[in-house]
A and B are shown apart, each in its own frame.
Chain A
């Protein structure tokens, strides 16, 4: 196992009576694209701010390369942040903005000029040195904010929803830029977002958080295909989450019909949650399906049709490239491999999960 670059040990943080983080443990290594994903208020930004040093945890430690940096002020930490609203210094031009950190480190003028050129080239904004931040578009400002951070050659770049303020098109192209940048720089990116698509596209590791707890850590594929619980399943992509009963190993009763599955070890007649992704439901002729239902709505979505099918007293969300008409009778089939069984959570405050990233 590679050495841990940053490790959070038992971090708790609350504002007044509002518990933001509770005994959080997390670590990650070099050259990673780690994403903290979760709805607003889940504690992801606080986690980032604790790493950056803008917040001090109530309990717990932050280790950097094995060294305790919990009480180290942000200006001493070897990591840099890209802020949600860019936080450019509006009274300085672009070159001055980028040079800010370097000047503080007393780098030579030649070195600084060189770095500015390099950074601007890296973010595709060559020749913008003398412009003022106000005169740039949102996407350009964001790239300057990134340039300003990376010239300092941090081991870790922290990004706090950096694309949140941009429009869809720009966001998508920036996503590719970020991936490219990360690969060119070879440093770790810690990326905070509430956009699951963004997370799935860019990350190599996703940390799903909710209400101050880590819900799941894994690769995008793991998180998508094998959500640990209903929250993750619901938050990552669209899915049908159905309260069901595990009849025995490899057999689950969903809304009165038994489905074959591949999961074992849940015991017999246990209540479980079942997750079925809409694209995993195949629409066949009625007699070929495990259950039958009637199409209630059809929407064309470009690559596929999004349909709702009424079956066993429930609306099933189905994505399919085969078009059906409303009120068509269809058979629904799900491959056993695509049925994901999850334990029902005992309570909202489920224990944080500790998984190697």
Chain B
């Protein structure tokens, strides 16, 4: 098959690229992880058992799971409502659909740090939120510099990555399939549970991956909104690289983190029948 060979060759530059700029750097990291002063060691890997490290990993895991869960909790009903909005007269209004997609991407075009700064101003002790609450004679909220603020920041930052795939999976469900369920006697809840949810599962799965992976390695939000009082595993890695000057330890912990991420991806791949990983859109 000459044609197929030619097609395969098209992947050439890409394969060259990922070997050169993805696999090789990964080997550099692995080299640092398994050595200390040029000698082979496993110490950087086993370092995860130290209290500070595994606690950070545990907190990161919990926060990432919570963040993923809340994002899903917000996105699923939102996608449902948006689906109804874009299905004008039973067919997809393409313009409106694109508009919705862009409206979720657009906030990301403002620099992350600027947006986080804006959140600081909203959440801080004398910030906008508390100003608003005291106007209403409500008690002030003290979530700034707490894990809740980190969680909020993460949800804010990663929410579009959940909304988009879930919405896109849902928009693909034929309205008649849903009608068929009603027609067969299913209530709205049953239809949601047995038809809409399973059919949007591919989107949900890729949403989970897209949110969980970056949130477990997150560190900047913890510094900006958590008041630096909590160490996430991302903070530790970042600190080893940029402050502690111990790249070996940083690399070792990175590898551990990657293992966790790969496990989570394998878990999601199990539910992804196409085996093509997540489809964002």
Chain A residues in the interface with B (C-beta under 8 A): 15, 52-54, 73-77, 80-81, 83-85, 87-91, 100-101, 104-105, 145, 148-149, 152
Shortest CB-to-CB span from A15 to chain B, Å, is 6
Q: How far is the CA of A88 from the CA of B89 in the complex (A)?
A: 21
Shortest CB-to-CB span from A278 to chain B, Å, is 38
Among B180, B181, B198, B199, chain A packs the most CB atoms within 10 A around the CB of B180
What A residues does B174 contact at CB under 8 A? 85, 87
Tell yes or no: B243 within 8 A of A by CB.
no
Tell yes or no: B195 within 8 A of A by CB.
yes
B182 touches A75 (CB 8 A): yes
B176 touches A89 (CB 8 A): no
- Those of B159-201 within 8 Å (CB) of chain A: 174, 176-177, 179-187, 190, 194-195, 198-199, 201
Partner of A83, one of B180, B187, B194, B201: B180
A52 touches B185 (CB 8 A): no
Q: How far is the CA of A36 from the CA of B89 in the complex (A)?
A: 21
B89 touches A75 (CB 8 A): no
15 A–B contacts from the bound complex (CB under 8 Å): A15-B89, A54-B182, A75-B182, A75-B184, A76-B185, A81-B183, A85-B176, A88-B177, A89-B177, A89-B180, A100-B194, A101-B185, A104-B185, A149-B184, A152-B184
What A residues does B190 contact at CB under 8 A? 104
Shortest CB-to-CB span from A251 to chain B, Å, is 51
Shortest CB-to-CB span from A216 to chain B, Å, is 28
Q: How far is the CA of A275 from the CA of B96 in the complex (A)?
A: 48
Chain B residues in the interface with A (C-beta under 8 A): 89, 174, 176-177, 179-187, 190, 194-195, 198-199, 201
Question: Could you list 4 further interchain pairs (A-B, Cβ under 8 angstroms) beyond the known A15-B89, A75-B182, A75-B184?
Answer: A73-B182, A83-B176, A88-B177, A88-B180
Shortest CB-to-CB span from A31 to chain B, Å, is 21
Shortest CB-to-CB span from B18 to chain A, Å, is 32
Q: How far is the CA of A76 from the CA of B89 in the complex (A)?
A: 23
B185 touches A152 (CB 8 A): yes
A100 touches B199 (CB 8 A): no
Q: How far is the CA of A15 from the CA of B201 in the complex (A)?
A: 33
Residues A75 and B187 in contact in the complex (CB < 8 Å), given A87-B174, A91-B199: yes
Q: How far is the CA of A77 from the CA of B185 in the complex (A)?
A: 8
What B residues does A104 contact at CB under 8 A? 184-187, 190
Shortest CB-to-CB span from B96 to chain A, Å, is 15
Residues A105 and B177 in contact in the complex (CB < 8 Å), given A15-B89, A90-B199: no
A87 touches B185 (CB 8 A): no
A74 touches B179 (CB 8 A): yes
Closest A residue to B191 by beta carbon equals A75
What A residues does B187 contact at CB under 8 A? 75, 104
A52 touches B184 (CB 8 A): no
Q: How far is the CA of A100 from the CA of B185 in the complex (A)?
A: 9
Shortest CB-to-CB span from A291 to chain B, Å, is 50
Closest B residue to A15 by beta carbon equals B89
Q: How far is the CA of A290 from the CA of B240 in the complex (A)?
A: 105
What A residues does B177 contact at CB under 8 A? 87-90
Residues A52 and B199 in contact in the complex (CB < 8 Å), given A80-B184, A101-B185, A104-B185: no
Shortest CB-to-CB span from B107 to chain A, Å, is 33
A81 touches B186 (CB 8 A): no
Shortest CB-to-CB span from B125 to chain A, Å, is 50
For the complex of A and B, the 7 pairs showing the least CB-CB separation, nearest first, are: A101-B184, A87-B176, A87-B180, A74-B182, A83-B176, A87-B177, A91-B198
A89 touches B179 (CB 8 A): no
Q: How far is the CA of A4 from the CA of B174 in the complex (A)?
A: 33
What B residues does A149 contact at CB under 8 A? 183-184
What B residues does A83 contact at CB under 8 A? 176, 179-180
Closest A residue to B202 by beta carbon equals A91
Closest B residue to A100 by beta carbon equals B184
Q: How far is the CA of A324 from the CA of B187 in the complex (A)?
A: 65
Closest B residue to A98 by beta carbon equals B184
What B residues does A85 contact at CB under 8 A? 174, 176
What B residues does A75 contact at CB under 8 A? 182-187
What B residues does A90 contact at CB under 8 A? 177, 199
Residues A87 and B184 in contact in the complex (CB < 8 Å), given A15-B89, A104-B190: no
Q: How far is the CA of A89 from the CA of B179 in the complex (A)?
A: 11
Q: How far is the CA of A89 from the CA of B176 in the complex (A)?
A: 10
What A residues does B184 contact at CB under 8 A? 75, 80, 100-101, 104, 148-149, 152
B186 touches A87 (CB 8 A): no
Residues A100 and B181 in contact in the complex (CB < 8 Å), given A87-B174, A90-B199, A91-B199: yes
Shortest CB-to-CB span from A163 to chain B, Å, is 16
Q: How far is the CA of A145 from the CA of B186 in the complex (A)?
A: 16
